[in-house]
Structure 1
């Protein structure tokens, strides 16, 4: 009931993102039902039906990834001070967010079932003069338990993924507690050094040498979304070197190189055959896509560093440090988008069109995966904007013009496009060349 109330009272932009999740869930559910229909209509070719069902894993993963991004930017389920007093702690808000995601995906699954039944002619007459009945299994009874099982994959997977991504985390949970010792008169101490008689009574002795160092009276507030491993400047912009580089760049490059090598080896051993007859070629393409996605945060951080080289001004310094601070948040979906584009280009270059019946479904799957990844990237950009709202407000209080902030945002977008655009085209060409051989 609480999830329904929060859903109804949300901002129109939040409602639009939830409707997009429902639309993605509807598309994925329809593809799953089409795989079931192909299995019902072609019981003598179970391998082809299994392959169609396996290809639905990509739209399913893209839909779940998009649902996680939408749940992270939902302001209604964000922990705020005072909510724990009324029973809305982090765990409860996480459960509400998972329930809201399940409701959106369930709405899409119901819509997919209605469209599938309508195209089969179960609700009304057969539309489109009975065309495209190859994957609808028209005239055959539809097993309802199997259909409901397939339709439940998207809501269950999305809600479970949201619950795992938004689970409450204790700060410093992995750190081992320091050994506690007792000083004179039962006072807690963090050291076991013995004191001489009367030393505790001397003024300042019980605080140690570090406590006598002069500290500022009030610490500068750290804006939300800033780097945790460095000090903040008064404007909220991380200083040079404050944001640690993501650790996925070497692994991403290694996996990308391994995928291209596997594709090249498959092109030499299976020349003249289609990519579907060469599983090693598809495995290499998948490895290259995964490597490009893993390298996204590291490349974004590298792009921020390159912006600050050779005597940077205030504009390049601001744009570069923001990119470094948001490398993990924005770089990961950006890498996924580049991986999807390169994989789609490589598959389109070797598409021979022999199976014309699956053409609309392939187009729907490609549009669904591409749309979900691009929408996830835009949602991550919205999340990054919300996270640096405190930094932007601090810069404006210090007198930074709005035009300067806009130019910094345009510079960040241009730098990312200049780095990821040629890289995506290069990976796509290198992936398509072995597949076409």
Structure 2
């Protein structure tokens, strides 16, 4: 009940971010239920059903990622003093954030279940009732317990991840040395990205000799790829996430080097400070954009148009990645408010602060755009 009161009493911006979590959970829940419906229609095709379920892991992970970052910027995760005075101890605050996340994601999967039952024709009452009765297995009884267990994974995993990350964030805020330490994941991220690209390029030479039966089916009629290619993309995505904070930090260092002006010094130092907060969400967005460009290249090469469920999953992942990066940016801006207030009291003009923010954003785009294009271009090599 307390998490509900905190959510309803939040500012409109917080409610908008929470609505995005509800929408993401609803989309992920519907994809999981659609996989169950496919299994009902094709009870003997276990392999394809498992592959469909495995591809749902991508929007599932995007939903968990978004819910965690939204919870870190909510009042339930920030008003430590007031909530502690209300009787919530150090361990109660992460639990409150987890409860708020479970509330939002639970509402989302409930909406997904209602939409799924309605499109099957189990809940008639509107012109769209039973519109997808065939693909969703309306002629077969729905195992309601199994469906509830399947979609319950979304709020449970999101709540657990939120509680863990909020507790780790509270512990990290007491260690000033850790906050000032530059990101150390750049060498590991570069190594993983290089290995992933090498795996994909090697798979490109072996693509013609790969038997058709061993290809991993892609969703939405995109054909199939070798398992090595999928593994390469996973390594590339992990590498980008690990390397992006270090890349942003180095860009900030370059801005503040070589006799910098006040504008360059302010923008560079702020970018170095924001790199640990914004780097990983920006790396996720970079990986998603690279995968989207590679998929577009495959469609241009003659693949069939994407199916509705594939479009839903791709849209969910893209929106979740963009919303997470934007949420992390808002969080970094809030953390920078004391420094901004101090500069304002010292007489820094507002135009200087706006110019520094513009310079930071431009620098990040100049970094992300070429990396995204290069990774997507190299990633399309093994796609025939």
- TM-score, normalized by length of structure 1? 0.80
Bigger Rg over Cα: 1
Q: Specify the SS of the correspondent of 1:38.
A: helix
Change (3 A) 1:134 1:290: farther
C-alpha contact (below 8 Å) 2:119/2:131 kept by paired residues = no
Q: CA deviation at 1:344?
A: 2.0
Q: CA deviation at 1:132?
A: 4.6
Alignment partners' CA distance in 2, 1:243 and 1:334: 20
C-alpha contact (below 8 Å) 1:119/1:127 kept by paired residues = no
Match of 1:154? 154
Q: CA deviation at 1:288?
A: 1.2
Alignment partners' CA distance in 1, 2:138 and 2:131: 10
C-alpha contact (below 8 Å) 1:289/1:343 kept by paired residues = no
**Greater mean deviation of Cα atoms: 313-322 or 5-14:** 5-14
Change (3 A) 1:319 1:33: same
Alignment partners' CA distance in 1, 2:83 and 2:4: 18
1:412 aligned residue (349, 355, 360): 360
1:251 aligns with 2:199: no
Higher share in helix: 2
- 1:186-201 alignment runs, 5 A limit: none
Q: Specify the SS of the correspondent of 1:326.
A: helix
Alignment partners' CA distance in 1, 2:132 and 2:86: 54
C-alpha contact (below 8 Å) 1:35/1:135 kept by paired residues = no
1:390 aligns with 2:313: no
- CA distances 1:331-380 after superposition (whole Å, capped 9, x unpaired): 11001100111112223322477776x71111110100010010000100
Q: CA deviation at 1:133?
A: 4.5
Alignment partners' CA distance in 1, 2:85 and 2:187: 45
**Greater mean deviation of Cα atoms: 390-399 or 299-308:** 299-308
Alignment partners' CA distance in 2, 1:92 and 1:406: 39
Match of 2:74? 74
C-alpha contact (below 8 Å) 2:188/2:242 kept by paired residues = yes
C-alpha contact (below 8 Å) 2:25/2:63 kept by paired residues = yes
Alignment partners' CA distance in 2, 1:138 and 1:60: 25
- 1:39-58 alignment runs, 5 A limit: 39-58=39-58
Q: Specify the SS of the correspondent of 2:307.
A: helix
1:378 aligned residue (317, 326, 333): 326
Alignment partners' CA distance in 2, 1:137 and 1:412: 51
**Greater mean deviation of Cα atoms: 258-267 or 270-279:** 270-279
For structure 2, which runs of at least 5 residues remain unmatched after alignment? Answer: 217-223
Q: Specify the SS of the correspondent of 1:247.
A: coil
Q: Specify the SS of the correspondent of 1:167.
A: helix
1:112 aligns with 2:112: yes
Match of 2:220? none
- 1:235-314 alignment runs, 5 A limit: 243-271=180-208, 276-314=224-262
Q: CA deviation at 1:77?
A: 3.5
Alignment partners' CA distance in 2, 1:35 and 1:354: 22
**Greater mean deviation of Cα atoms: 307-316 or 119-128:** 119-128
C-alpha contact (below 8 Å) 1:259/1:283 kept by paired residues = yes
Aligned length: 372
Change (3 A) 1:256 1:70: same
C-alpha contact (below 8 Å) 1:79/1:90 kept by paired residues = no
- 1:126-141 alignment runs, 5 A limit: 132-133=132-133, 135-141=135-141
Change (3 A) 1:168 1:54: closer
Alignment partners' CA distance in 1, 2:161 and 2:170: 19
Q: Specify the SS of the correspondent of 2:136.
A: coil
- CA distances 1:92-146 after superposition (whole Å, capped 9, x unpaired): 1211111011000010011001111111111116956966555311221111011
RMSD: 2.4
Q: CA deviation at 1:11?
A: 1.3
**Greater mean deviation of Cα atoms: 301-310 or 242-251:** 242-251
1:322 aligns with 2:259: no
Change (3 A) 1:277 1:55: same
Change (3 A) 1:70 1:280: same
- TM-score, normalized by length of structure 2? 0.91
Match of 2:309? 361
Match of 2:348? 400
**Greater mean deviation of Cα atoms: 416-425 or 131-140:** 131-140
Match of 1:28? 28
Change (3 A) 1:354 1:125: farther
Alignment partners' CA distance in 2, 1:47 and 1:355: 22
Alignment partners' CA distance in 1, 2:347 and 2:129: 66
